[in-house]
Structure 1
Amino acid sequence: MPSSPDATRRRVLAVTAAAGLGVLTGCGGTPSRARPAPEASPPGGSRSSPSAGTGAPGPSGSATARQPARPVKRRRPELPRGGRELFPRYRLVGFCGLPGAAALGRLGTGEPGQRAAEVEKVAHRYAAGREPLPVLELLATVANATAGPDGTYRSRTPAATIRRFHRVARDRRALLLLNIQPGRADVLDEVKALRDWLVHPDVGIALDPEWEMARGQVPGDTYGRTDGHELTEVARYLSGLVEAHDLPQKPLVFHQVATSVVRAQSALRPQPGVALIKSADGIGSPGLKRGTWQRLVHDLPDGLHTGFKLFYEEDAQGSRLMTPKEVLALRPQPEYVMYE
């Protein structure tokens, strides 16, 4: 059983999540699969000019021979602010949450556009020699304290909400991370349900394995867990999408609040085109958070990047929020900083 303050927060969030999704869906049920808005340009690249190869009359008044159209060189998809590799060029800084559920994070308050503008400013405070890349981490699968009609203890965020945040992310040249709290649902199934979003170059995945429940477990009562084999399976699926659609590097974040939440970490295998990011979770004073960090980054597997999670309200209760300077002083230096 998790110790306070995390335990209290977990119980509150499990109930709040269900209430927040109830507002969004009207019934808390599972929506149909997401259908994102089409790309601004056609799949094959820019269209040829309408006047190309029309056989316009030559100087003598006769039509010139029709010239074969030159093949249009397809521009490879890139990250929102250019390039195809996340690191070491960028430092990711984001807000997470769900509209209508303020307790679940910063994205639960105000308009998405306002939050995107705010995280842009925060991201620049973390540049430290890198280019800041803002992130909107939207809860796409949310663990619930009740089983629901299918017994999975999770709800899916409606496609309309994901589409709204994807448009904001695209307008702000930011990344959209779709966060999965699976409850008792299969993690890979939840990732695959988001495939129509994941084929976009600006969309990645964040996993919250503390909300991944085994049979008989209920979200909010105990920590869930994953392992290196399951994380590798998800990374392999994302790698397949990257290859099939010639996408830029795709982030796969997993938030970890305690060493017990990720078992058999040595089994984790990096996959082509996927940036694996281990994000240290947990509430507390700067000293407590540094202690958690040191435990979680000890003996990191090769190819694993690091992230760090901050809580605007909970970290400040009885203490204070860590400053960007303090976060950047951690070693290894976090490459993704997320505020809840």
Structure 2
Amino acid sequence: MVSRGRAVALVAALIVIALLTAASTVPRMSDVAVFATPAIEPQVVDAPSSPAVSLSSKLFRSSSDAVVVTDSATREDWKTVAETAATRHVPVFAVRPATSADVEAELHRLGTRSVWVVGAGETGFHSTSQFSTTQVSTPSADLAGLRGNPAPDGPRPVVFAAGPLDPDLAATAAAGGTRLVGVAVPDPRASGESVRALREARGTVPVIALGRAFGDTPTFARNVEQAVTLPEIPGGGQLVASGRRMVALYGSPGSPSLGPLGRQGLDATIARVKGIAAQYQRVSRELVVPAFEIIVTVASASPGDGGAYTSMIDPAQIRPWVEAAGRAGVYVTLDLQPGRMNFLTQAKRYADLLAMPHVGLALDPEWRLKPEQVHLTQIGSVGAAEVNATSDWLAGLTREHRLPQKLFVLHEFDTDMLANRQQIVTTRPELQTVIHADGHGIPSVKMDTWRRILVDLPPNVVMGWKNFYTEDTPMLTPSQTMNVEPRPFFVSFQ
């Protein structure tokens, strides 16, 4: 039988053992669940000064260690930092006067104990009482002592950022196990890569946009839904002018006199325009997409049936060219020369072709006659009301058929050709408007035309440039064309 004294001693010993056991199993900082999992629904996160800080606030609950990089860090330093972030799973922040306060606040939120400073110079932190700092002179060696976090598990977000990606943002994304997607413009529909990332995620992982440039959360969520569900255009994505340029052959099938597009058969034309696009790709940072600009209504010198001074080609004759172009990754723009008809009436004739995802529309006001005008005697023109009626119809067709954004080209070589140009609506999200300068001649004359057309441009337009094989003396080379400012988005050849 155990005596009362021995029983008390035994209980006390058991309590001590229990306390020691509990103490030995208290998790270290690096063993705590440090990663947050945002909600699955798409969301936009403010990124006022440091996208890396904004992303850290979504990915990390805590981190005992973090890396801070000053402006004096070298490319090799950044390489080591990126590798460390990816293997040790710690956030990384570039610190400069504009970001130091936000970085310091994030370190406090994370409960960071050790800050590893890569690069010379001050961090600009006001209070470091919470954490110790270690100035790193040789990152490959000194960061070896950094205390990491466990590898993230569970669904990790897809994160979108616009413009060049900051190295600390890329490192923090890698540390948090996220897929970081850079887009040329703040829209998830901008590229084939961004669309692929969303389709692979497809409601199974969170989707985050960094910065209010992506719009509010409902706008971003709507664009995500379109990226996942709408067809893509040649070059990928669903935005016509994002991160790409187009190079087009102009003309009409079987009509050599109307332009180079009609001077060879279909397969040869595809090969020819791809060859020109390849020449431009060598001098363009952006992807160059080959294109056709097919004249489907042709201005005529005689009145013809109905006195319209235009001939409308049967859409069935154009369809094989449009379909083959789509299969070959060639964008198509249907060009209208309406004579005394109006653009909207002619556009509707080609509604079935325009309902294809890789087909846009071009209006050529030079060939839009008033009732008493004739071609080659007067230069035509069109008012804003007719242009707007046509673009409104085209935007509606795009919405109805759930299509990607369409190219909407307005040709111009004289400012009178687009009357009331400031009243033309260029903000329809379904369309990307191009003002296409059609001047020809010696380079100085072409540049004079270009500069006139640039004056008081409507908002949200991109520019087009035309090179003429015979009328330009000499015709600009790809390098010379890409040196025109602003750099043309759409370059056509006639």
Per the shorter chain, which TM-score range?
Answer: 0.7 to 0.9
**Structure-1 separation of matches of 2:456 and 2:315:** 39
Is the Cα–Cα contact under 8 Å of residues 177 and 206 in structure 1 kept in the other structure?
A: yes
Matches within 5 A, 1:53-92: 75-92=229-246
Partner of 1:204, secondary structure, is: strand
Deviation (angstroms), 1:76: 2.0
- Give the Å deviation of 1:305: 1.0
Cα distance in 2, alignment partners of residues 108 and 221 from structure 1: 26
Runs of at least 5 residues in structure 2 that lack an aligned partner in the other structure: 1-227
Find 1:243's aligned residue among 399, 423, 426: 399
Question: Hey, what does 1:314 align to over in structure 2?
Answer: 471
Q: Which amino acid aligns with 2:291?
A: V
* Partner amino acid, structure 2, of 1:213: L
Conserved in 2, the CA contact under 8 Å of 1:91 and 1:126?
Answer: no
Residue in 2 that maps onto 1:115: 269
**Native 8 Å contact 1:80 1:174 kept in 2:** yes
Q: Secondary structure at the match of 1:213?
A: coil
How far has the Cα of 1:200 moved from its partner? 0.7
Query: Is 1:257 the equivalent of 2:422?
Result: no
What code does the residue aligned with 1:297 have? Answer: L
* Partner Cα separation in structure 1 for residue 463 and residue 371 of structure 2: 30
Candidates 326, 343, 362, aligned match of 1:206? 362
For 2:482, give the aligned amino acid: L
Length, aligned pairs only: 265
Letter in 2 for 1:173: G
The residue number in structure 2 matching 1:338 is 492
Of residues 338, 355, 361, the one that matches 1:182 is 338
For residues 43-97 of structure 1, the C-alpha deviation after alignment (integer angstroms, 9 at most, x for no partner) is xxxxxxxxxxxxxxxxxxxxxxxxxxxxxxx842111232100122210110011
Aligned to 1:25: none
Partner of 1:297: 454
Matches within 5 A, 1:124-203: 124-127=278-281, 128-203=284-359
Which secondary structure does the structure 1 equivalent of 2:486 belong to? coil
d(CA) in 1 for partners of 2:378 and 2:439? 14
Q: Which residue is equivalent to 2:257? A: 103
1:217 pairs, out of 373, 384, 389, with: 373
Higher relative contact order (CA 8 A, sep 6+): 1
Q: Which amino acid aligns with 2:467?
A: L
1:29-44 alignment, distance < 5 Å = none
Deviation readout 1:79-138 (Å, 9 max, x if unpaired): 123210012221011001113322210012111211111111211333311111111111
Range moving further from structure 2, 272-281 or 149-158: 149-158
1: CA distance, partners of 2:415 / 2:425: 18
**Paired residue for 1:69?**
none
CA contact (8 A) 2:333 2:359 kept: yes
Match of 1:241, as an amino acid?
L
Higher helix share: 2
Amino acid at match of 2:280: Y
Bigger drift between 228-237 and 144-153 goes to 228-237
Contact kept in structure 1, 2:343 and 2:387, CA below 8 Å: no
| Counterparts of 2:235 and 2:490, CA distance in 1 | 16
Instruction: Report the secondary structure of 1:125's partner residue.
Output: helix
The equivalent of 1:325 in structure 2 is 479
Match of 1:77, SS state, is coil
**RMSD of the TM alignment (CA)?**
1.5
The alpha carbon displacement at 1:301 in A equals 1.3
Deviations 1:163-198 (A, max 9, x none): 121122022111111110000011110011111111
CA distance in 2, matches of 1:145, 1:88: 39
Aligned mates of 2:490, 2:327 — CA distance in 1: 21
Preserved contact between residue 143 and residue 153 of structure 1 (Cα < 8 Å): yes
Amino acid of the residue matched to residue 255 of structure 2?
A: A
Task: State the identity as a percent.
Answer: 34
Q: Which amino acid aligns with 1:264?
A: N
Distance in 2, matches of 1:297 and 1:124, equals 28
**Distance (whole Å) between structure 2 residues aligned to residue 75 and residue 304 of structure 1:** 26
1:286 paired with 2:443, answer yes
Cα deviation for residue 160 of structure 1 reads: 3.0
For 1:304 and 1:312, locate their aligned partners in 2 and report how far apart those are by CA, in whole Å: 26
Distance 1:243 1:168 in 2: 24
1:265–1:301: 8 Å Cα contact kept in structure 2? yes
Counterpart residue type for residue 302 of structure 1: P
Letter in 1 for 2:362: A
Q: Which has the larger radius of gyration?
A: 2
